């Protein structure tokens, strides 16, 4: 069961991306995703290189959101593509077969399309209402998540409004991982918050190993 922490410097101002990644890893995160739409390319690349180095030394997966070029130049493990980003096959052409390409889907049909296009995993959501990002689509809910998990062969990472209070519910639906933003980055102690999520995952699934992505 993979716990992915997406670093976010907009929901708080106490920690930068590298600090958040460090704290999340100390708390037990299995995957770090760097997302920042505001930084210049040069700044983003410098941060990506630093986080990539940290993750490599800890054997943690490192994914860059949206920017295939930053993933390429920082030698990240892969890229996560949203709906307004490059397509999976366009990213694949740039990154090659050995890198991870994840993509966001808001419904089952889209998730199936992305699987066909060659995505390595699906970020499915948002499961619950969330404040981290402005959403144009309604929350998908647990039932839809369950359907997607049963239908697709590639790993599903549930995302959107997931926290301590509803994590058990999400885990029952059978995803291969969960991704959080606010539940870690919006907390005063991101390390402790990550550890708390990890403990719930352990209690619920008995599985602390990340899924194969």
Partner 1 sequence: MLPFKLYLITDRKATHGKPLEQAVEAALQSGVKAVQLREKDWPARPLLNLAHTLRKRTLAARAKLLINGRLDIAMAAEADGLHIPENGLPIPKARRHFPDKLFGKSTHSLEKAVEAEQHGADFIVFGPVFDTPSKNGMMEPRGLTHLKQVAHAVKIPVFALGGVNPENTKACLENGAYGVAVISAVLSAEDIPRAVASFQQALGEL
Residues near partner 1 (CB under 8 A): 40-43, 45, 66-69, 72-73, 83-86, 90-91, 93-94
Distance CA 135, CA 151 (A): 25
- What is the nearest approach in angstroms of partner 1 to the Cβ of residue 36? 13
Of 91 and 178, nearer to partner 1 (C-beta) is 91
H-only helix segments in the chain: 17-27, 41-58, 68-73, 88-95, 108-117, 141-151, 167-172, 182-185, 190-205
> In this complex, which beta carbon is closest to partner 1, that of residue 81 or of residue 171?
81
Q: How far apart are CA 11 and CA 19, in angstroms?
A: 14
Closer residue to partner 1 in complex, CB, 105/180: 105
SS3 39: coil
Find out whether 63 and 76 touch, Cβ atoms under 8 Å. yes
The CA–CA distances, whole Å, from 167 to 94, 159, 213 equal 35, 11, 21
By C-beta, is 43 or 172 nearer to partner 1? 43
User: Which residue lies nearer to partner 1 by CB, 1 or 71?
Assistant: 71
* DSSP classification of residue 146: H
Closest approach of partner 1 to the CB of residue 121, in Å: 19
Q: How far apart are CA 52 and CA 208, in angstroms?
A: 22
Q: Which two structure tokens, joined as six digits, stand for 193?
A: 């918050």
Shortest separation between residue 123's beta carbon and partner 1, angstroms: 16
């Amino acid at each position: 069961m993979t716990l992915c922490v997406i670093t976010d410097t907009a929901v708080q101002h106490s920690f930068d991306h590298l600090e958040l990644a460090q704290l999340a890893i100390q708390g037990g995160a299995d995957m770090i995703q760097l997302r920042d739409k505001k930084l210049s390319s040069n700044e983003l690349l410098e941060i990506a290189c630093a986080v990539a180095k940290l993750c490599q030394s800890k054997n943690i997966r490192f994914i860059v959101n949206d920017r295939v070029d930053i993933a390429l130049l920082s030698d990240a493990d892969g890229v996560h593509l949203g709906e307004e980003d490059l397509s999976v096959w366009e990213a694949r052409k740039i990154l090659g077969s050995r890198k991870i390409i994840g993509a966001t889907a808001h419904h089952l049909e889209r998730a199936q399309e992305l699987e066909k296009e060659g995505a390595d995993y699906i970020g499915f959501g948002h499961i619950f209402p969330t404040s981290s990002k402005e959403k144009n689509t309604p929350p998908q809910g647990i039932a839809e998540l369950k359907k997607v998990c049963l239908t697709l062969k590639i790993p599903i990472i549930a995302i959107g409004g997931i926290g301590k209070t509803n994590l058990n519910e999400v885990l029952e639906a059978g995803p291969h991982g969960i991704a959080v933003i606010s539940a870690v980055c919006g907390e005063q102690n991101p390390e402790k918050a990550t550890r708390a999520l990890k403990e719930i995952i352990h209690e619920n699934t008995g599985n602390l190993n990340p899924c194969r992505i």
